[in-house]
């Protein structure tokens, strides 16, 4: 298995929005981000480290942000208690890239564990299923096989 660490070049060359979200713990506006309504099959990787974080297989009801029922590999994300803005919620960060990804909420869908990983598009890069092998993520192709 690959180890994906914070890539200094990726951190130095993001768009202003990617930097604000991943390095300054920002949040995008709902319905005004790249992947909130994306329905294509593929893998979502951390824009800073390139590490795989979520798949379209676990994506659900477009609530204004990309929402997933679970991370691809739970050991590659860190969940921190965040008490900012006068409330307590769970922040989700990339373990190896230490980038802010979004927040975890215990409000959806019950039949799949009841969790909603609400992620910022600016913290992710989408790799279409057809590009996984070229991008070095061949091991995840099986997730998108017919009937899987």
H helical segments located in 25-111: none
β-sheet bridge partners, residue 60: 67
Q: Catalytic: which of 45, 47, 48, 118?
A: 118
Beta strand 42-46 with 124-128: parallel, antiparallel or unpaired? antiparallel
What the block records as the tokens of 5 is 């660490």
H helical segments located in 5-109: 8-12, 16-24
Residues ≥6 apart with Cβ < 8 Å to 134: none
Q: Is 118 one of the annotated active-site residues of the chain? A: yes
- Would you tell me how many other CB atoms lie within 10 Å of the CB of residue 86? 5
Q: In terms of Cα–Cα distance, which of 73, 60, 75 is closest to 119?
A: 60
Catalytic residues: 118
């Amino acid at each position: 298995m690959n180890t994906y660490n914070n890539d200094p070049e990726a951190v130095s060359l993001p768009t202003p929005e990617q930097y604000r979200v991943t390095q300054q713990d920002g949040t995008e506006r709902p319905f005004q981000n790249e992947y909130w309504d994306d329905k294509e099959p593929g893998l979502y990787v951390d824009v800073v480290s390139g590490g795989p974080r979520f798949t379209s297989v676990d994506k659900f009801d477009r609530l204004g942000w990309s929402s997933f029922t679970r991370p691809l590999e739970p050991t590659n994300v860190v969940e921190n208690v965040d008490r900012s803005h006068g409330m307590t919620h769970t922040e989700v960060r990339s373990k190896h890239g230490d980038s802010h990804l979004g927040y975890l909420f215990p409000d959806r869908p019950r039949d799949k564990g009841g969790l909603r990983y609400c992620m910022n598009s600016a913290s992710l890069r989408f790799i279409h299923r057809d590009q996984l092998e070229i991008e070095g993520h061949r091991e995840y192709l099986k997730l998108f096989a017919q009937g899987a």
